Amino acid sequence: MTSSVSFRITRTAEDLAQTITALSQRLVKLEQRQEALELQLRQQQKDLNAVPDDEIATLEGVEALLQETRELLDSTAPMAEGPMPDEVPQNDAWGHEESSEMTRDVA
């Protein structure tokens, strides 16, 4: 009887050892897979944040054109001043008739 109990204990210990070995191997594979996925994710994030060189060159060209345009606008913009004091506005005589025309109509 003691030999059958001893056999069962040995067999159970062997089964547990195999199960632990299988679980350990699976854990190692899962850890490797996780590392590979994390590396892939970091690479994708890096690629998303990177702007291609040709786009950077195009954007720099646009920025230079904008700067030149601003400089031209600043250099050609008229100074904001009111009308000169001795200037007579053109619309000042609207609605007024000259006196010579009025006397002609009455006669």
Q: What is the pLDDT along the chain (107 residues), one digit of tens a residue?
A: 667 777 778 889 999 999 999 999 999 999 999 999 999 999 998 888 887 888 889 999 999 999 999 999 999 877 655 555 565 555 555 555 555 555 555 54
Q: What is the DSSP string of 24-79?
A: HHHHHHHHHHHHHHHHHHHHHHHHHHPPPHHHHHHHHHHHHHHHHHHHHHHHHPPP
- Torsion sign (Cα): 89, 95, 101, 103: negative
